[in-house]
Amino acid sequence: MDNSFFAYLQLLELMAFFSGYPLIYSLGLFVSGKIPSRYDKVNIRRALPYAYALVGTLYLGLQLKNLYPDYSIANIRNAFLQPYLIGWALMSLLFWIPAISKRPVLSLVHSLVFFFFLLRDLFKQITDPAADKNILSNDMTLYTTSLLINISALVFIVVIIFVYGYLKRRSTPRV
């Protein structure tokens, strides 16, 4: 068996983690625009890149789990059939850096690479009547999974920011 099947599986993993972020980003901007600033204790727009970095960290954890117990360069080279896409996915870890996270639109641009593969399969399904219907079904399942992963990461980051702000306000001495 050639490596094209395993390369396809790696692409599906990438789509499961990163393809749902553009919709979550859009919803986050919409919600943050509807909340008046005096009620906005946690800026969702600021939390979006950190949620994307958390998803990237989860993806890194999955890759490390898949590589266990042999973390040698040769094994990594053999295991990563799409090294450029995996490298691009791991660049999402850069959004933990506050200087990069100050521009949330960069996280959107970064995730559009993975959203493109979903659009490609959708376009192929529309234009080619002989295309396999299971591919689109798999993509929609993975897109739903990606939406759940990304919304969970965003909620987790928002809760952490809220709790941190609450504890910080509580620990300051009152004069």
pLDDT, tens digit (0-9, with 9 covering 90-100), for 137-160: 899 999 999 999 999 999 999 999
Say how far apart CA 153 and CA 21 lie, in whole Å.
10
Q: Is residue 124 over pLDDT 70?
A: yes
Residue type, 147: L
Residue 132 belongs to domain spanning: 4-171
Q: Which residue has the tokens 């939406």?
A: 147
Of 94, 83, 95, 111, the C-alpha closest to 17 is 111
| Span 1-60, pLDDT tens digits | 457 888 989 999 999 999 999 999 999 988 887 766 555 566 788 899 999 999 999 999
Q: Which long-range contacts (CB under 8 A, 24 or more apart) does 85-92 make?
A: 85/10, 85/11, 85/14, 85/113, 86/10, 86/14, 88/113, 89/14, 89/17, 89/18, 89/56, 89/59, 89/114, 90/56, 90/59, 90/60, 91/56, 92/18, 92/52, 92/53, 92/55, 92/56, 92/59
Neighbours of 156 (CB within 10 A): 14
Q: How many domains does the chain have?
A: 1
Q: What percent of the chain has pLDDT over 70?
A: 93
Please give the pLDDT value at position 172: 75
Residue type, 18: F
Q: Which residue has the tokens 């949620």?
A: 51
pTM of the model as a whole? 0.89
